[in-house]
Amino acid sequence: MESTVDTNTAVRATALSLESVSRRYGRRGGGGREAIALDAVSCAVPAGSFTAVVGPSGSGKSTFLQCAAGLDRPTAGTVRVGGTDLGSLSEAALTRLRRDRIGFVFQSHALNLVPSLNIEENVVLPLVLAGADPTDERVLARGRDLLARVGLAGRGGQGPATLSGGQQQRVAVARALVTEPDVIFADEPTASLDPESASLVLGLLRDAVRIDGRTVVMVTHDPVAASWADTVLTMDGGRLR
Ligand SMILES: Nc1ncnc2c1ncn2[C@@H]1O[C@H](COP(=O)(O)OP(=O)(O)OP(=O)(O)O)[C@@H](O)[C@H]1O
Ligand SMILES: [Mg+2]
């Protein structure tokens, strides 16, 4: 389908692609120059790979992630997740695609979990939002399995506030895995963690790729975190270097 892929990537499906994606922000009040947060970025991320996006502050990393994950609409260009052109979708269809085919882990563990739900309910929330019965034994078992996977077996009944920041971030990874998404996006998932907790979270993301064949795209400014990835994309001034 794409003429630029080499034989190595041609045998693997492309989980995420950007073609000449730009995101401009107009100045409020009409004065001054517009900001170009993303400047005609193109890339293809193979399924089953772990990609880190690095670059200086303001280089466009978060904008890249937001556009790639369908949380923001680019000003120009095409984003495809699992072959679907996000720009062709209505808001409702885009919301469904984000819910069913994309997993998210955000920077602050405080933003990741719903405080009024226990951690097992947080893990299965994407399934429940998609219509699953939260009392269904298969749904509950899936939540328990994922909590065991992230080292928190038996803690499902606790509230998020009773866990450390690193433990909450591991719950966020479990939740990002629950729908078996095409792509898991993480924006600075280890930024607020000590090195040991950061390693645990990065190991979970790497295992999601190596064991489950998931695709992970992670923004980080930390070279140590980036070293866990197979591929490092460097952004500078809204472009990929
Ligand atoms: N809502 C917005 N309105 C105007 N400009 C914006 C907006 N969001 C981002 N920008 C600009 O776009 C550029 C890229 O921002 P972005 O947040 O993507 O950078 P980043 O690489 O994630 O930075 P950091 O490492 O500090 O998180 C910056 O110049 C920023 O000022
Ligand atoms: Mg950012």
The per-residue pLDDT for range 161-207, each reduced to its tens digit, is 999 999 999 999 999 999 999 899 999 999 988 999 999 999 999 99
Between CA 182 and CA 54 the distance in angstroms is 22
User: Of 25-39, 150-164, 217-231, which gets the smallest average pLDDT?
Assistant: 25-39
Which residue's alpha carbon is at the smallest distance from atom 13 of ligand 1? 37
pLDDT in tens, 117-174: 999 999 999 999 999 999 999 999 999 999 999 999 999 999 999 999 999 999 999 9
The pLDDT value recorded for residue 114 is 93
Instruction: Count Cβ atoms below 10 Å from residue 164 Cβ, excluding itself.
Output: 12
CA 62/CA 107 separation, integer angstroms: 11
Say which ligand is closest to the CA of 59: 1
Domains of the chain and any CATH numbers = 49-61+93-240 (3.40.50.300)
Give the Å distance between the CA of 56 and the centre of ligand 2: 9
The number of the ligand nearest the C-alpha atom of 39 reads 1
pLDDT at 226 over 90: yes
| Beta bridge mates, 183 | 102, 215
Distance 61 CA to ligand 1 centre (A): 8
pTM for the model: 0.90
pLDDT for position 109? 64
Q: How far is the CA of 131 from the centre of ligand 2 (A)?
A: 32
Atom of ligand 1 minimally distant from the CA of 35:
5
